[in-house]
Amino acid sequence: MTMFPANMPEMPAEMMGPVMDNPQGFADAMGSGMEAFSAAMEGGGGMEAAFEAFGEAAGPMMEEMGISPEVFEACGDMVGAAVGPAMMMADGDAGGADMGAMMMDAVDMMMPEGMTMPPEVGGAMMDMGTAMGDAGCGCHDVAGEMMAPPGEPGYPMPMDAAGDPVMVPGDPASVPAECVQAPPADGACADMGTMMPPEGGYDHPPMDPGMTMPEPMTMDMAMGDTGGMGAMADAMGGAPGDAGAAPMDAMDAAMGSAMDGAMDQGGAAGGDHGSLLESHEAGYSDEAVAAANEAEHDVDPSAGMG
């Protein structure tokens, strides 16, 4: 038995466009990622190493579809904010099929209005949960990896007036009714036969004064969140600026350092180097291009002239 957050994020167009154009490509990328995940778990690397392996396998395939690392990372946080609470409220012994059903229902509930989840996507979500279970991952451990921890930006569930989490692991009745919703009556959890609320529902506590419920996570919120990143963020190498940041972030940082060095020596940031920065063919982010061009125009033309 479980419940989902009342404020579910909505899948952004940046993700849904490429996925709807090529749902099988998405499923293939997820499948390759989970093969790598399972192999890493079997090798004893632990869940963190397994998610890194997932990203190394799935990330490039997502990029080929037109899903940038930043979008993949943000959507991972959004999925985590949707399914993480459901996994945490479920029984800690819930198996892979249960986790797959929760992931499948979560993504279905995140679909924009009027848009139907492609069966390939639902199958990929079910397979991901099943593979996690087969790899020995506990339901509550996965939940903790997929959503921000209490007190961090992006934590998707209510906090009390003292700033403590309301949700009790394994207990859907611990959260006020206003903050949760049941799985879809015709969804994957319903098909499992053991994941739906009991007849008559749970005996939820009241919404106490001072209790807060966060707004649904958006793409902008996810991209601006550097704390408590979910499993997909870890898979893509961490938040911008982390030691294990994604290749594009590392490239941007390297280019920034190179430009700083050039300006310290009195050189301009233009020439062949500047022409690369003025073109997105080099793969630099918008922020890196803007910063580089601004720095180029701010260089003192008399520097280095003696």
What does the pLDDT look like over 275-288, one tens digit per residue? 333 333 344 444 44
The first and second tokens of residue 76, run together, are 């991972």
Identify whether the C-beta of residue 118 lies closer than 8 Å to the C-beta of residue 174.
no
Q: Rounded to two decimals, what is the model's pTM?
A: 0.73
How many CA atoms lie less than 13 Å away from 148 in the CB half-sphere?
A: 23
- β partners of residue 4: 181
Distance between CA atoms of residues 298 and 245, nearest Å: 28
The answer to whether the Cα torsion of 126, 50, 4, 167 is positive or negative is positive
Q: What is the pLDDT along the chain (306 residues), one digit of tens a residue?
A: 999 999 999 999 999 999 999 999 999 999 999 999 999 999 987 888 888 899 899 999 999 999 999 999 899 999 999 999 999 999 999 999 999 999 999 999 999 999 999 999 999 999 999 999 999 999 999 999 889 999 888 999 999 999 999 999 999 999 999 999 999 999 999 999 889 999 999 999 999 989 989 999 999 889 875 533 344 444 444 433 344 444 444 434 444 444 444 344 443 333 333 333 333 334 444 444 444 444 444 433 333 333
The first and second tokens of residue 268, run together, are 């301009």
Distance between CA atoms of residues 129 and 241, nearest Å: 30
Buried-state track 56-71, b at ≥16 Cβ within 10 A, e below 16: bbbbebbbebebbbbb
Question: In this predicted structure, what is the pLDDT of residue 243?
Answer: 41
Question: In this predicted structure, what is the pLDDT of residue 51?
Answer: 86
Question: In this predicted structure, what is the pLDDT of residue 61?
Answer: 96
The first and second tokens of residue 241, run together, are 């600026």
Question: In this predicted structure, what is the pLDDT of residue 225?
Answer: 53
DSSP run (H or E) holding 181: strand 180-181
Count of CB atoms situated within 10 Å of the CB of 244: 13
Identify whether the C-beta of residue 227 lies closer than 8 Å to the C-beta of residue 145.
no
Question: In this predicted structure, what is the pLDDT of residue 305?
Answer: 35
Q: What are the CA-CA distances from residue 207 to residues 114, 165, 202, 283 (Å)?
A: 32, 13, 14, 48
